[in-house]
Amino acid sequence: MKIFFYILIITFLFSDSYASSEKELYKKISEVKTLGFKFNQTLNGKDEKGKCIINYPGKIYCKYETRFNKIVVSNGKSLVIRSDKNNQYFRYNLESTPLSILLNKELILNQIINLKLKDVNDKYYMLSLNEKGQEINIFFGKENLNLIGWQTEDIYQNLTVTYIYDIEINKKIDNKIFNLPKL
């Protein structure tokens, strides 16, 4: 009977601590309107760096540190990837990309409420989301609950891992950066 009692107490304490983290994460994300950060991104063994700004809901601007002036911009409806390399310009419906999930704060908050947060190696929390055929794993630091990155797989099964750092929350931004670039 004592063993059962100890197991019950440990289970209660662990679940209460876990629920507390979810509540704190929910509150923290709720308060974010804009998010600026630097990133390292790995796709097919190639690393890229850059800076991004997210303006919820649905807007993102990323400038890569490459000689091709690559940018990724979403105005909340469309997503454009532009590069000076071969004058490339790609336009997508935002909803057809995994970024649509990352840029949908309400969806993320709803999933946190529904207890889909997973503890990974006692280092970070992972939220796995699948919406309209798009999948993304979003990672949060366990100690400070900051967004630390995400992982997606494209239609060609290429895994993209993005790690973010130097985060700035609710910094004033010029919304003109979310205007889609012209070809």
Q: How many CA atoms lie within 13 A of 73 on its CB side?
A: 17
Q: Is the peptide bond before 181 cis (omega within 30 degrees of 0)?
A: no
In this prediction the pTM is 0.84
Residue-wise pLDDT for 52-82, tens only, equals: 999 999 999 999 998 888 999 999 999 999 9
User: Sorting pLDDT into bands at 50, 70 and 90, what band is 139?
Assistant: very high
Please report the domains of the chain, with CATH numbers, ordered by start residue.
2-178 (2.50.20.10)
